[in-house]
């Protein structure tokens, strides 16, 4: 039995993955961006172990989530599911002066990875749209570029792949994966999505908990339990390291050295 923490699990794919894991007999801790959303998460998965709350759109809230999770002990796996979709990726700025899609999709998983007790497995939710991401890493905060929500989302999903591959290299004792759940009809995906909603949470739950030898690998990008193609630039170790350095500069949180 695995003990799994899932960010952004008040609804959508996070909650679907939580339900699947609980049905399989695993312990799950949920997350919502506010106490009210955390209660909604628990109402949707009443057999979950518990829920924490904190707004991942700003660093103070992300630190609160890390602190609450650490108080509950070490998890076997963390699924970094929380995200802002391409249809919701509006310009705006967070309390830290950053685009929300960058803060939630890119920087929050980085900060949580750095600050939470290291689990045995890490799963980062990406997207097939990462193939359209800008691998130059120029102007991550969109201070100079004309705003484009779809591009900002694609960039953030490329960041998740870069983060997963970088962590897999630096922490060889942890099984690290990135996952595309497909384009599915959640609140984020919208009603026009045509991929399988039933299959969408399966891969991340499998990677977080399964003893299947196929799941016990690291540094892969997955789609429906099969390794999938990444943007070739994402395999560049220098680019991965540059992304970690950019995250450290933007957040003030340095990636821990391997022990």
* Catalytic residue numbers, as ranges: 153, 157
C-alpha 91: how far from its chain's center? 21
Decide if 152 contacts 104 (C-beta within 8 A): no
Give the torsion sign (CA, 45, 225, 78, 182): negative
Q: How far apart, in whole angstroms, are the C-alpha atoms of residue 129 and residue 111?
A: 23
- What lies within 8 Å, CB to CB, of 32 at 6+ separation is 9, 10, 38, 39, 40, 41, 51, 53
Question: How close are the terminal C-alpha atoms of the chain, in Å?
Answer: 26
Of the candidates 221, 111, 88, which has an alpha carbon nearest to the alpha carbon of residue 165?
A: 221
Q: How far apart, in whole angstroms, are the C-alpha atoms of residue 179 and residue 139?
A: 25
* DSSP 8-state secondary structure symbol assigned to residue 123: E
Find tokens 């391997």 and name the residue: 258
- What lies within 8 Å, CB to CB, of 252 at 6+ separation is 59
């Amino acid at each position: 039995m695995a003990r799994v923490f899932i960010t952004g699990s008040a609804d959508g794919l996070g909650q679907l993955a939580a339900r699947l894991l609980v049905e399989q007999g695993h312990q799950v801790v949920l997350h919502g961006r506010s106490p009210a959303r955390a209660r909604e998460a628990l109402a949707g998965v009443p057999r979950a172990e518990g829920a924490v709350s904190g707004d991942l759109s700003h660093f103070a809230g992300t630190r609160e989530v890390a602190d609450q999770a650490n108080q509950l002990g070490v998890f076997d796996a963390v699924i970094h599911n929380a995200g802002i979709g391409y249809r919701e990726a509006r310009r705006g700025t967070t309390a830290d002066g950053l685009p929300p899609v960058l803060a939630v999709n890119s920087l929050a998983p980085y900060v949580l990875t750095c600050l939470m007790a290291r689990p045995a497995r890490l799963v980062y939710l990406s997207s097939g749209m990462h193939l359209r991401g800008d691998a130059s890493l120029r102007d991550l905060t969109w201070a100079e570029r004309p705003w484009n929500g779809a591009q900002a989302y694609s960039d953030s999903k490329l960041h998740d792949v870069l983060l997963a591959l970088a962590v897999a290299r630096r922490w060889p004792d942890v099984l690290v994966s990135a996952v595309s759940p497909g384009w599915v009809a959640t609140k984020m995906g919208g009603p026009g999505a045509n991929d399988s909603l039933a299959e969408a949470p399966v891969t991340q739950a499998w990677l977080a908990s399964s003893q299947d030898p196929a799941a016990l690998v690291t540094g892969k990008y997955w789609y429906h339990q099969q390794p999938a193609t990444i943007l070739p630039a994402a395999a560049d170790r220098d680019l991965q390291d540059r992304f970690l350095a950019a995250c450290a500069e933007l957040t003030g949180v340095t990636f821990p050295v391997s022990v």
